[in-house]
Amino acid sequence: MDGHRYFAPDLLAGEVAVVTGGGSGIGFAIARDFVALGADVVIASRSAERLADAEGRIAARTGRTCASLPCDVRQEADVDRLREFVTARYGPATTVVNNAAANFFMPAERMTRRAFDAVLSTDLAGTFNVTRGLVPAMLEAGRGLVLNITLAEPDRGFPGFSHCGAAKAAIVSLTSSWAYEWGGRGVRVNGIAPGPVPTEGVAANMLGEHDPARAFAGAATRIPARRLGTPEDISAAAVFLCSPAGSWITGQNLVVDGGFSLNVPPNAGA
């Protein structure tokens, strides 16, 4: 069930939203629900094919269209093109969702500098590039929203994924700094920290040799809510934070994980 069903149908009318990585997984659900709630949305990622497919699925599910542009968030020139495309099509962006990310299982002692850079340049520098490219117009307009897709308590470490953990910890810090710097100028900045959501990106990049079905079933038993998350669990929180209902919330990293980060031992409370 789509995440927009909880909200008034025109809740995001008048917003111009950019969703990076909006062609798949969590980003797709956020883009679809923003479109359904009246926002003008541009989805951006590397694969033109994936974006075209997502555009079609969003139109079929919502009856409204969105736009897309191939963009590698690591490249500042691509982000410049993205800003020009959005502005020409819908006017300056009022909302940016930094969702694009790369992650893969890699024990720290085997991690090459190239592997480290591949993740840091996408997750951390990509978040910086897109925000730096789109926020000046928001500051000029005196209103805007930045939503970073993060991780719960990344400073506690993320074994096997130390590159991604480091990037997400830095993004949580950027969220606080940006919220403080821009709060008085009408721009709110928040994070959402999802728990395990079994997307294709997780299955393809994070499970190593593990069978996805078994890995997902095992993860679910470690979640107090006793189920994995869905992209819609995350998109509903994104809509709330990016709507007027969240207008006094800034600088927060909202954990949406069924209690996963509480680290409840197996069988506790069962």
Q: Which residues bind ligand NDP (CB under 6 A)?
A: 20-21, 23-27, 45-47, 50, 71-74, 99-103, 122, 126, 149, 151, 194, 196-197, 199-202
Q: What's the burial of 72, exposed, middle or buried (CB within 10 Å: 0-12/13-18/19+)? A: middle
Q: Strand locations in the chain, DSSP E?
A: 16-20, 40-45, 67-70, 95-98, 144-149, 187-194, 253-256
Contact window for ligand L4XM7KOE (CB under 6 A) among 47-55, 172-180, 183-191, 194-202: 194-202
**Helix (H, G, I), strand (E, B), or coil: what is residue 1?**
coil
Work out the number of other CB atoms within 10 angstroms of the CB of residue 213: 10
Contact window for ligand L4XM7KOE (CB under 6 A) among 89-97, 127-135, 197-205, 242-250: 197-205
Question: What's the CA gap between 104 and 160, in Å, rounded?
Answer: 8
Residue 53 vs 251, nearer CB to ligand NDP: 53
Does 267 participate in binding ligand L4XM7KOE (rule CB under 6 A)? no
Contact window for ligand L4XM7KOE (CB under 6 A) among 6-14, 32-40, 49-57, 109-117: 109-117
Q: Find, among 221, 217, 214, 227, the residue nearest to 266 by Cα.
A: 221
Distance in Å, CB of 14 to ligand NDP, minimum: 26
Q: Find, among 157, 150, 163, 155, the residue nearest to 189 by Cα.
A: 150
**Helix (H, G, I), strand (E, B), or coil: what is residue 191?**
strand
Question: What's the CA gap between 67 and 184, in Å, rounded?
Answer: 31
Does 103 participate in binding ligand L4XM7KOE (rule CB under 6 A)? yes
Both tokens of 133, joined, read 């490219």
Distance in Å, CB of 60 to ligand L4XM7KOE, minimum: 24
* Binds 76: which of ligand L4XM7KOE, ligand NDP, none (CB < 5-8 Å by kind): none
Sign of CA dihedral 263, 125, 170, 4: negative
Does 106 participate in binding ligand L4XM7KOE (rule CB under 6 A)? yes
Does 133 participate in binding ligand L4XM7KOE (rule CB under 6 A)? no
Residues that bind ligand L4XM7KOE (CB under 6 A): 101-104, 106, 112, 114-115, 118, 122, 151, 164, 196, 198, 201-202, 205-206, 215-216, 219, 228
